[in-house]
Amino acid sequence: MFVNKDILTIVSRKSRLALKQADLVKQQLNIFYPQLKIEIIGISTSGDEILDQPLMKIGGKGLFVNELEKYLLQNKADMAVHSMKDLPASLADGLIVTAILPRADSRDVLVSIDFASINQLPPGSIVGTSSLRRQAQLLAIRPDISITSLRGNVDTRLEYLISGKYSAIILAAAGLERLGLTTWIKHTFTWQEMLPAVGQGALGIEIKADNTQLQELLRPLHDWQTAACVQAERAMNAILDGGCQAPIAGFASIKNQLITLRGLVAEPDGKIMLRAVQSSALENIMELGRRVADDLLAQGAAKIISKLKTEWQGNGW
């Protein structure tokens, strides 16, 4: 092993979950390189600080990423750890995701104090989520419940639940697992009930593209199967071009040397759910993403996405 400095630095959002995820990368690196000194720098991004407005209004999920990327470009840090579901379709010039760790549970979960499943919620119950993807799929199951926007880190969201503001909230299983909070989970949604966000459950390490030494150093952490699945999902998402908050879902899996990609585009009220699923050989990942996207577009996905974009612009977003 060779790195041209005494300490490697990881920049991360400073939420408890983000720091935990950065520490997971640090732990994995120290398994392969026990003598390597690694420091984690936690910063607060605009996306973490502005909680009283929808993400689509203030700039989308890129707000969680842009300021971390600046640290890399300005040589203030060597790498950034991201939830792959937060990464926009395009990275800043000069940066690459060089390693994707093995995927954790990609599914969404119902968290509630009083109710064990979505079907136990009384009519009119208030469920918290800031995701149109989750909203649409929830309303497809239970059109009689009420969805209210919920933002903030995991601990903040749990505090809102405890206060009685919500009957239930929807979170990612992976985040609760990483924080040791799985006892909060009342129901884990199947992929048929709620298809995950593109990249959900996967962690990626972003670095400067010209840092070949660091690319080599991080190679042992890279999981090719997770990377292939995330690549297919992101290829589909890039073609659909729905932005940060469009109700788009995608999940790929590998079995018997075939990769299968499931995609979904929905109306926010859940009344229209467009679905597509296709499989291909592993060497045709990008083509698979394109085919699934084209299938959804042929069903009318462009109309749904365009309508949402028009509404956002009409509201000055």
The CA-to-CA distance between both ends of the chain, in Å, stands at 48
Axis-axis angle for helices 285-299, 301-314 (nearest 10): 80
In terms of Cα–Cα distance, which of 35, 185, 197 is closest to 106? 197
> How distant, in Å, are the alpha carbons of 218, 250, 286 from that of 78?
12, 30, 29
Query: Within 10 A of 219 (CB to CB), how many other CB atoms are there?
Result: 11
Contact between 38 and 66 under an 8 Å Cβ cutoff? The reply is: no
Which residues, other chains included, contact 56 with Cβ-Cβ below 8 Å and sequence gap of 6+? 243, 244, 245, 312, 317
Report the C-alpha gap between 160 and 4 in whole angstroms: 46
In the 3-class helix/strand/coil scheme, how is 101-126 assigned residue by residue?
Answer: CCCCCCCEEEECCCCCCHHHCCCCCE
Choose the catalytic residue: 86, 155, 223, 269.
86
**CA–CA distance, 40 with 78 (Å, rounded to integer):** 10
Active site residue 86: yes
Q: Is 171 helix (H, G, I), strand (E, B) or coil?
A: strand
- Report d(CA 49, CA 175) in Å as an integer: 19
| 63 secondary structure, DSSP code | G
Tokens of 150: 């919920």
Query: What three-state secondary structure class fits 87?
Result: coil
Classified as helix, coil or strand, 88 is coil
Residues carrying an active site annotation: 86
